[in-house]
C-alpha cells in the first residue's frame, strides 16, 4: 500500500506542478464563466422596446409599471386563461400575471413568455412590486401610529416589518397556450454541458495516463520501477494519481467558475437596480417622515439578491444530485477508460503508434456525443435508456439524462454496470500492460495483444 | 552456502522458448557472471529472479527458501534497458526510487546524501535528468541500485556508456560491494571485466545452461597443456629438436625475438619441453597458455551449436 501511495503521490505532484495544469485551471473557469455571463449581459443590453402585458388581479399595481426604453407596458382586464390564449396573437413579449390574494398583500408574480424571460424585465417587475408593497405597508404602519398607538416604535422596527421579498416565476408558454417550465432549456444545456465535460475529461486525463506510460517506456525507467513494484501497482498508481489531478482540476473549476459568475452577475444586477429604481423611488415617495423615507431609499439601494435567470435556473437544479452523479460517472468512467489508455501506452513504443488502438476506444465516446442530440430530445426513450446503461457510453449519456430526472433504479443499474465495466477493462488492460511495458521495438498488432491477454501471468 | 538457486526454470513465450530447464546456483558472497550470446535468455532469467515475470516451471530459492514478493527489497537491479524520468530532478527521482525499495524518507535522504558526496555529484541534486550526460545518468542509476544495501545485486551490462575512468570507478565499487558481503550477478558481454571480477560463471545459450562453475575450475578444464616460451639461440628449427608428439602451434624465428607455442601431449610437463631445448638455446621465459574467458565463450558456444548439427 505504501508503494502505491508513493506512486500516486509522484504522479499527482509532477502533474499539478506543471505549467499547463495551472494555465488550464485558470483558463477553464474564465471560459466557462464567459459562456454563462455573456448571454446574461447581452440580455440586459437588448435595445428593442418590447411590449409587455400586465394582468393584475389585485389591482394594486395598476399604472405602477412605467414604460422605458426596453419595455412598454399595457394592462389587461380579463382572466388568466383567456389572457394566455390570446397571448400568442398579441405579439407581446411577455405576460406578467399577479394572482389574486385574499388577505395578504400579493408577493408573487408569474411571467409568461414564449422564450426565456429577459432578466432586466424580471428585475424591474420585482422591484416595482416590492416597492409598491413596501409603500403600502409603510402607509399602514404610519396610519397606525397616527391613530394613537401608544407604544413607541423605532424606525428600524418599521423598516424590518415592511421588508418584502417578491417571488417571480418564469414559465414558458407554447403557441397553443400550453405552459411548460422554461427550465427545460436549462436542463438541456446542463445535460449537454456535463456530457461534454465528461467526454472531455475522460479523453484529456485518459490520454495523460497513456502518455505517462509511454514516457516511462521510452525513458526506460519502467524496468527499474517494476523491479520494486508490481506492474499492476504501477498502472493503478498512475491511473489514480492522474484521476486525482482531474478531480482537483474539476473542483477548482467549479469553485472558480461559481466565484467569477457570482461576482460578475451581482455586479451587473446591482448596477441595474441602481439605474432603474432609485430615481423613481424618490419621485414616488411622499415625504411622510424624512427619516423613514431616507431609510427606505437606503434599503432599496442595497444590492438585492441577483435575480439572474441563469443563476435562478441553476438554483432550480438539484445540485447535490448533479455534482454527486457527475463525480461518480466521471471517476468510474475515467477509471474504466484510463485502464484501456494505459494498456495502449504499454503496447506501443511511441505516441505515433497509438492511432490504430485509439480508434476502438474513441468510437463509443464519440458515438455517445453524436447521439446526445437525439437523447436530449427524448431523454426517456429506448435509445437513451440503452446507451445510458451500456458501460462504455453510460458516463456521457447518463450525465446528459440526469438533469431531466432519471429513475433511481436506472441510475443504480447504470452505476453497477459501470463498476463492472471498470473491473473488466482493468483486468484486461493489466494483462496487456504488464507484457507490453517490457517489449521494446516491436510493432504490435491485435493478434499480438490477444496473445498477451492469454499469457498466464 | 548458495544465496540464490534457480531450479529447472522454464519460460515459454508465444513463439519461442526463452529458458529451458535452467538450473544455476549463486554462492553467497561471490560475483557471478551470467554470460551468453544475445537472445540466449539471460534477461528473461534476470527478470524472473526480480519477479518481474513468473516462470512457467521451476522454482527460485533465496537462502534456501522460496523467493517471495517481499524479497524485491533485498535485491538491487540495474537493468540493461535503463533510464530515468527526464523531467524530474535527480534528487526527487533518487528519493522516489529509494522509497519504492522500502527505505523511509529520512533514511533515503541520509544515504543518498552520503553517496552523492562519495561520487562527488552533490551539485546535481536539483538538476533535471535531461540536463545530464549519459555517463552522469548511469552513475546515478548505479547508486540508486545499491542505495538500499541489498544482499543480492544484479547488474545487466553495467559498463555500457561509461568512459574508462568511470568504468574503473564502477568496478571498484562492485568489488567494494562484494567486500561488504553482497552477492552480485553480473551479466555482460565485456569478457575482460568477467576475467577481472567474476568468481563463478554460468554460460547460457539458446535457453540452456551450457557451462557452469567457478572460474578457476573452468579455466583448469579448458587448459590444453600448451606453453609459450621465448628464447635466444642460433637459427634452429624446433621441429628438429622437439619430439614429434609435441605439436608446435606457433613459431616466431625473428633473430631479435624468438618465441613459440607448443602443445604437449597428456602426461608431459614443461620439464619435458625444456630438456631438449636447454642444450641449444637460452630460455628467457616460459608461460602456460591459459585460455581467456573470451576463448572459452567462443569455443563453448560454437561447439554447442555445431554438435547438434553433426549428430543429426
Give the pLDDT of chain A (457 residues) as one tens digit per residue. 789 999 999 999 999 988 889 998 888 888 888 877 777 676 665 556 788 888 888 888 888 888 887 788 888 888 888 888 788 777 788 888 888 887 778 888 888 887 667 777 888 888 888 888 888 888 888 887 777 665 667 778 888 888 888 888 877 776 554 555 555 667 777 888 888 888 988 999 999 999 999 999 988 899 999 989 989 999 999 999 999 999 999 889 888 888 888 888 777 766 655 555 444 444 444 444 444 444 444 444 433 344 445 555 555 667 777 888 888 999 999 999 999 999 999 998 888 888 888 888 889 989 988 888 888 877 788 888 899 899 999 999 998 888 877 888 899 999 999 999 999 999 999 989 988 888 877 778 888 888 888 776 5
Which chain B positions have a beta carbon within 8 Å of A349's beta carbon? none
CB proximity list for B51: less than 8 A, separation 6 or greater: B67, B69, B71, B72
Q: Residue A304: its pLDDT value, please?
A: 39
Q: Residue A50: its pLDDT value, please?
A: 80
How far is the C-alpha of A152 from the C-alpha of A296, rounded, in Å?
Answer: 19
H/E element holding A286? none
Task: Name the closest residue on chain A to residue B144, using Cα atoms.
Answer: A224
Q: Which residues pair with A167 in a beta bridge?
A: A108
A224/B69 CB distance under 8 A? no
Burial class of residue A236 (count of CB atoms within 10 Å of its CB; 0-12, 13-18, 19+) = buried
* Of residues B40, B63, B74, B67, the one with CA closest to residue B53: B67
Please determine, for residue B282, whether its predicted confidence score (pLDDT) is greater than 80: yes
B81/A455 CB distance under 8 A? no
Which chain B positions have a beta carbon within 8 Å of A229's beta carbon? 100
Instruction: Given the cut 0.85, state whether the ipTM is greater than it.
Output: no
Please determine, for residue B221, whether its predicted confidence score (pLDDT) is greater than 60: yes
Q: Does the beta carbon of B16 lie under 8 angstroms from any beta carbon of chain A?
A: no
**B285: alpha, beta or left, given left = phi > 0 and alpha = psi -120 to 50?**
beta
CB environment A343-377: b (16+ within 10 A), e (fewer): bbbbbbbebeebeebbeebeebbeebbebbeebbe
Q: Per the structure block, which three cell numbers stand in for A316? A: 432550480
Q: Which of A21, A224, A437, A452 to mutate to test the interface with B (most CBs of B within 10 A)?
A: A224
Q: Of the candidates B78, B84, B99, which has its C-beta nearest A221's C-beta? A: B84
How far is the C-alpha of B158 from the C-alpha of B176, rounded, in Å?
Answer: 15
Strand pairing report for A50-56 and A71-75: parallel
Q: Per the structure block, which three cell numbers stand in for B72? A: 524485491
Contact between B76 and B153 under an 8 Å Cβ cutoff? The reply is yes
How far does Cα A36 stand from its chain's mean position? 9
How far is the C-alpha of A51 from the C-alpha of A91, rounded, in Å?
Answer: 8
Task: Using alpha carbons only, give the angle A225, A230, A235 rounded to the nearest 5 degrees.
Answer: 80
Q: Residue A44: its pLDDT value, please?
A: 61
Q: Residue B35: its pLDDT value, please?
A: 92
How far does Cα A429 stand from its chain's mean position? 34
Q: Residue A109: its pLDDT value, please?
A: 87
Task: Using alpha carbons only, give the angle A106, A109, A111 rounded to the nearest 5 degrees.
Answer: 165
CATH of B224-288, one of 1.10.3470, 3.90.660, 3.30.70, 3.30.60: 3.30.70
* Mean pLDDT for all residues in chain B: 88
How far is the C-alpha of A110 from the C-alpha of A170, rounded, in Å?
Answer: 6
CB proximity list for A392: less than 8 A, separation 6 or greater: A336, A364, A365, A421
The DSSP line for A408-436 is: HHHHHHHHHHHHHHHHHHHHHHHHHHHHH
How far is the C-alpha of A123 from the C-alpha of B136, rounded, in Å?
Answer: 70
Q: Residue A313: its pLDDT value, please?
A: 59
In angstroms, what CA-CA distances link A4 with A84, A229, A237, A335, A407?
A: 64, 8, 5, 16, 38
Please determine, for residue B230, whether its predicted confidence score (pLDDT) is greater than 60: yes
For chain B, the domains span: 2-220, 224-288
Which chain A positions have a beta carbon within 8 Å of B86's beta carbon? 215, 219
All CATH 3.40.190.10 domain ranges of chain A, comma separated, are 47-181
Distance from CA of A13 to the nearest CA of B (A): 11
Q: Residue A422: its pLDDT value, please?
A: 93
Contact between B46 and B78 under an 8 Å Cβ cutoff? The reply is no
Q: Residue A46: its pLDDT value, please?
A: 55
B81-85, B177-181, B266-270, B306-310: which range is least confident on average?
A: B306-310
Whether domain A47-181 has CATH 3.40.190.10: the reply is yes
Distance between the two ends of chain B, CA-based, in angstroms? 40
> 3-class DSSP state for residue A42?
helix
Q: Which of A221, A439, A447, A454 to mutate to test the interface with B (most CBs of B within 10 A)?
A: A221
* Of residues A421, A187, A235, the one with CA closest to residue A341: A235
At residue B60 the predicted structure's pLDDT band, cuts being 50, 70 and 90, is very high
Q: Residue A278: its pLDDT value, please?
A: 46
CB proximity list for A63: less than 8 A, separation 6 or greater: A75
Burial class of residue A80 (count of CB atoms within 10 Å of its CB; 0-12, 13-18, 19+) = middle
In angstroms, what CA-CA distances link B31 with A11, A111, B181, B218?
A: 37, 89, 11, 15
Distance from CA of A233 to the nearest CA of B (A): 11
* Of residues B79, B147, B139, B86, the one with CA closest to residue B112: B147
Q: Which of B52, B108, B142 to mutate to test the interface with A (most CBs of A within 10 A)?
A: B52
Please determine, for residue B109, whether its predicted confidence score (pLDDT) is greater than 90: yes
Class of domain B2-220: alpha beta
Sign of dihedral through CA atoms B75, B81, B82, B88? negative
Rg (CA), chain A: 30
Q: Does the beta carbon of B160 lie under 8 angstroms from any beta carbon of chain A?
A: no
Residue B250's CB: how many other CB atoms inside 10 A? 12
Which chain B positions have a beta carbon within 8 Å of A224's beta carbon? 77-79, 82-84, 97, 141, 144
Sign of dihedral through CA atoms A213, A219, A222, A228? negative
Amino acid at each position: 500500500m505504501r508503494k502505491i501511495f508513493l506512486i500516486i503521490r509522484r504522479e499527482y505532484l509532477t502533474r499539478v506542478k506543471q505549467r499547463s495544469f495551472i494555465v488550464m485551471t485558470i483558463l477553464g473557469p474564465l471560459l466557462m464563466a464567459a459562456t454563462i455571463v455573456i448571454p446574461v449581459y447581452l440580455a440586459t443590453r437588448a435595445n428593442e422596446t418590447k411590449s409587455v402585458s400586465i394582468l393584475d388581479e389585485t389591482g394594486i399595481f395598476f399604472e405602477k409599471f412605467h414604460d422605458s426604453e426596453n419595455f412598454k407596458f399595457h394592462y389587461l382586464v380579463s382572466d388568466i386563461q383567456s389572457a394566455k390564449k390570446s397571448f400568442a396573437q398579441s405579439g407581446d413579449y411577455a405576460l406578467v400575471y399577479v394572482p389574486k390574494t385574499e388577505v395578504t398583500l400579493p408577493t408573487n408574480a408569474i411571467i409568461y413568455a414564449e422564450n426565456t424571460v429577459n432578466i432586466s424585465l424580471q428585475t424591474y417587475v420585482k422591484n416595482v412590486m416590492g416597492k409598491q408593497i413596501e409603500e403600502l405597508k409603510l402607509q399602514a404602519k404610519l396610519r397606525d401610529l397616527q391613530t394613537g398607538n401608544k407604544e413607541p416604535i423605532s424606525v428600524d422596527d418599521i423598516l424590518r416589518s415592511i421588508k418584502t421579498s417578491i417571488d417571480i416565476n418564469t414559465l414558458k408558454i407554447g403557441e397553443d397556450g400550453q405552459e411548460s417550465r422554461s427550465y427545460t432549456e436549462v436542463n438541456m444545456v446542463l445535460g449537454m454541458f456535463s456530457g461534454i465535460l465528461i467526454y472531455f475529461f475522460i479523453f484529456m486525463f485518459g490520454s495523460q495516463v497513456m502518455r505517462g506510460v509511454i514516457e516511462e517506456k521510452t525513458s526506460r525507467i519502467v524496468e527499474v520501477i517494476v523491479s520494486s513494484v508490481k506492474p499492476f501497482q504501477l498502472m493503478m498508481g498512475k491511473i489514480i494519481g492522474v484521476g486525482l489531478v482531474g478531480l482537483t482540476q474539476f473542483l477548482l473549476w467549479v469553485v472558480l467558475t461559481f466565484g467569477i459568475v457570482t461576482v460578475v452577475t451581482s455586479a451587473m444586477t446591482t448596477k441595474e437596480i441602481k439605474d432603474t429604481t432609485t430615481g423613481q423611488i424618490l419621485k414616488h415617495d411622499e415625504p411622510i417622515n424624512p427619516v423613514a423615507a431616507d431609510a427606505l431609499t437606503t434599503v432599496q439601494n442595497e444590492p438585492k439578491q441577483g435575480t439572474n435567470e441563469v443563476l435562478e435556473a441553476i438554483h432550480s437544479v438539484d445540485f447535490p444530485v448533479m455534482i454527486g452523479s457527475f463525480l461518480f460517472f466521471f471517476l468510474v468512467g475515467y477509471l474504466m477508460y484510463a485502464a484501456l489508455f494505459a494498456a495502449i501506452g504499454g503496447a506501443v513504443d511511441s505516441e505515433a503508434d497509438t492511432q490504430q488502438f485509439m480508434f476502438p476506444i474513441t468510437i463509443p465516446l464519440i458515438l455517445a456525443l453524436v447521439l446526445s442530440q437525439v437523447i436530449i430530445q427524448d431523454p426517456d426513450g429506448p435509445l437513451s435508456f440503452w446507451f445510458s446503461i451500456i458501460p462504455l457510453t453510460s458516463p456521457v449519456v447518463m450525465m446528459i439524462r440526469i438533469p431531466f430526472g432519471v429513475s433511481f433504479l436506472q441510475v443504480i443499474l447504470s452505476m453497477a454496470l459501470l463498476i463492472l465495466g471498470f473491473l473488466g477493462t482493468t483486468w484486461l488492460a493489466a494483462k496487456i500492460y504488464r507484457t507490453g511495458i517490457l517489449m521494446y521495438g516491436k510493432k504490435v498488432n491485435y493478434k499480438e495483444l490477444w496473445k498477451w491477454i492469454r499469457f498466464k501471468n | 552456502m548458495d544465496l540464490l538457486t534457480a531450479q529447472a526454470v522454464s519460460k515459454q513465450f508465444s513463439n519461442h522458448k526463452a529458458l529451458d530447464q535452467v538450473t544455476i546456483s549463486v554462492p553467497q558472497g561471490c560475483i557471478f557472471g551470467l554470460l551468453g550470446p544475445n537472445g540466449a535468455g539471460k534477461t528473461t532469467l534476470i527478470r524472473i529472479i526480480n519477479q518481474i515475470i513468473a516462470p512457467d516451471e521451476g522454482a527460485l530459492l533465496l537462502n534456501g527458501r522460496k523467493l517471495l514478493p517481499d524479497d524485491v527489497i533485498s535485491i538491487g537491479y540495474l537493468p540493461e534497458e535503463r533510464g530515468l524520468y527526464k523531467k524530474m530532478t535527480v534528487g526527487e527521482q533518487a528519493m522516489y526510487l529509494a522509497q519504492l525499495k522500502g527505505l523511509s524518507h529520512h533514511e533515503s535522504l541520509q544515504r543518498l546524501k552520503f553517496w552523492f558526496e562519495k561520487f562527488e555529484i552533490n551539485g546535481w541534486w536539483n538538476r533535471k535528468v535531461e540536463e545530464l550526460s549519459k555517463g552522469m545518468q548511469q552513475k546515478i542509476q548505479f547508486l540508486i541500485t545499491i542505495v538500499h544495501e541489498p544482499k543480492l545485486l544484479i547488474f545487466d551490462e553495467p559498463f555500457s556508456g561509461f568512459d574508462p575512468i568511470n568504468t574503473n570507478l564502477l568496478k571498484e565499487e562492485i568489488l567494494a560491494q562484494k567486500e561488504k558481503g553482497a552477492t552480485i550477478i553480473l551479466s555482460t558481454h565485456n569478457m575482460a571485466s568477467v576475467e577481472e571480477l567474476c568468481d563463478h560463471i554460468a554460460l547460457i545459450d539458446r535457453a540452456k545452461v551450457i557451462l557452469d562453475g567457478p572460474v578457476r575450475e573452468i579455466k583448469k578444464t579448458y587448459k590444453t597443456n600448451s606453453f609459450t616460451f621465448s628464447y635466444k639461440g642460433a637459427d634452429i628449427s624446433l621441429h628438429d629438436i622437439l619430439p614429434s608428439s609435441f605439436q608446435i602451434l606457433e613459431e616466431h624465428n625473428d633473430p631479435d625475438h624468438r618465441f613459440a607455442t607448443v602443445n604437449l601431449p597428456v602426461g608431459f610437463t614443461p620439464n619435458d619441453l625444456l630438456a631438449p631445448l636447454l642444450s641449444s638455446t637460452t630460455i628467457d621465459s616460459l608461460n602456460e597458455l591459459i585460455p581467456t574467458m573470451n576463448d572459452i565463450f567462443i569455443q563453448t558456444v560454437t561447439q554447442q551449436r555445431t554438435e547438434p548439427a553433426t549428430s543429426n
